[in-house]
Chains A and B, each alone.
Chain A
Amino acid sequence: MSLRDVLSPFTAWKHVINDPVTIKDPFNRPGADRYRGFHQNDMDKCIGCGSCEEICQNAAIDMVPVEGQEAGPGDSGLRPMIDYGRCCWCALCVDVCMTGSLTMSNEYTWVDSDPDAFRFVPGVDGKSWDLEPKGYQREDTRRLTGTTRAPMGELAPEDRIGNFCEIVDGFTPEQAVIEADRCVECGLCVATCPAHMDIPDYIAKVRDGDFEGGLQLLYETNPFSQACGRICTHKCETTCAAMHEGDAIAIRWLKRAITDSVDKDRYFDLIQKPDVPETGQSVAVIGAGPAGLTTAFDLARKGHKVVVFEALDKPGGMMRYGIPEYRLPYDVLDHEISVIEAMGVEIRCNMRVGHEISMEQLAKAYDAVVLSIGLHQGRSTRVPGSDKAEAAIDLLRRITAGVEVPVPEQVAVIGGGNVAMDIARSMARLQKIKYGRVGVTVTALEDLDRFLADREEIEEAQEEGCVIYPARGPQEIVLDGETVMGLRTWKVQAIFDDQGRFAPKYDEADEMIHPAGMVVEAIGQMADISLLGEALTEKLEWNRGRIMIDSTGQTSEPWLWAAGDAVSGPDVIHAVADGHRVAVSVGKMLAAKREKVQ
Chain B
Amino acid sequence: MRHILYRLKDRYHLGTPVFQRDDLCFVTVKRFELRAILTELRDVEGFTHLTLLTAVDWIEEQQFQLTYMVNNRVANLTLALRVMLDREDATGDTIHDLWPTAATYQRELREMFGITFPGSPRVDEEFILEGWTDLPPYRRDFDTLAYSQQTYNDRPGRVTHDPKTHMQKTLYADYPKGAK
Contacts and interface: CB of A to CB of B under 8 A. Distances in A.
B168 interface: yes
A71, A83, A116 interface centre (most CB from chain B within 10 Å): A71
Interface string B147-180: 0110010110111111110111011101111111
Interface string A58-102: 110111110000111000111000010110000000000000000
A388 to B, nearest CB: 46
Given A115-B155, A191-B171, A78 B177 contact: no
B159 A64 contact: yes
B163 A63 contact: yes
B145 interface: yes
Nearest to B164: A187
Contact of A222 (B144, B159, B168, B178): B178
Interface stretch (A47-55, A227-235, A432-440): A47-55
Interface of B is mostly: loop
Nearest to B163: A76
Contacts of B176: 580-581, 583-584
B162 A63 contact: yes
B132 to A, nearest CB: 16
A188 interface: yes
Interface string A272-304: 000000000000000000000000011001000
A109 interface: no
A186 B161 CA distance: 12
A483 interface: no
A581 B175 contact: yes
Contact of A78 (B157, B163, B171, B179): B163
Contacts of A298: 178-179
Contacts of A50: 162-163
Contacts of B163: 48-50, 63, 76, 78, 186-188
Contacts of B160: 53, 61-64
Interface in B26-67: none
B158 A76 contact: no
Contacts of A115: 155
A221 B154 contact: no
B155 A551 contact: no
A374 to B, nearest CB: 22
A295 to B, nearest CB: 12
Contacts of A86: 148, 152, 154
A583 B149 CA distance: 44
B172 A191 contact: yes
Interface residues of A, number: 46
Contact of A220 (B162, B167, B180): B180
Interface string B4-30: 000000000000000000000000000
B154 A190 contact: no
Interface in B59-81: none
A338 interface: no
B142 to A, nearest CB: 10
A589 interface: no
A219 B180 CA distance: 9
Contacts of A119: 155, 158
B144 A190 contact: no
A71 B167 contact: yes
Nearest to B167: A191
A517 B104 CA distance: 88
Contacts of A83: 154-155, 158
Interface in B109-160: 144-145, 148-149, 152, 154-155, 157-160
A49 B159 CA distance: 16
Interface of A is mostly: mixed
A149 interface: no
A86 B168 CA distance: 30
Given A65-B161, A116-B155, A187-B162, A196 B172 contact: yes
B178 A195 contact: yes
A222 B144 CA distance: 39
Contacts of A569: none
A72 B154 CA distance: 30
A221 B177 contact: yes
A81 to B, nearest CB: 8
A219 B159 contact: no
Contact of A71 (B152, B157, B166, B180): B166
A140 B65 CA distance: 25
A195 B154 CA distance: 37
Contacts of A186: 163-164
A85 B155 contact: yes
A190 B161 contact: no
A219 B167 CA distance: 22
Nearest to B149: A59
A491 to B, nearest CB: 42
Contacts of A297: 179
Contacts of B166: 63, 65, 71, 76-78
A57 B145 contact: yes
Contacts of B171: 71-72, 191
Interface in A140-170: none
A577 interface: yes
Nearest to A302: B179
Contacts of B178: 195, 220-222, 298, 580
Interface in A91-149: 115-116, 119
A76 B160 CA distance: 13
Given A191-B168, A196-B177, A59 B154 contact: yes
A78 B145 contact: no
Nearest to A48: B163
Nearest to A185: B164
Contacts of B168: 190-191, 196
10 contacts: A58-B145, A63-B161, A76-B163, A77-B170, A83-B154, A115-B155, A116-B155, A196-B168, A220-B178, A298-B179
Given A77-B167, A83-B154, 13 more contacts: A57-B144, A57-B145, A58-B144, A62-B159, A62-B160, A63-B160, A71-B170, A86-B152, A115-B155, A196-B177, A219-B179, A220-B177, A221-B179
Interface of A: 48-50, 53, 56-59, 61-65, 70-72, 76-78, 83, 85-86, 115-116, 119, 186-188, 190-191, 195-196, 200, 219-222, 297-298, 301, 551, 577, 580-581, 583-584
Closest 6 CB pairs of A and B: A187-B164, A76-B163, A62-B160, A221-B178, A57-B144, A191-B167
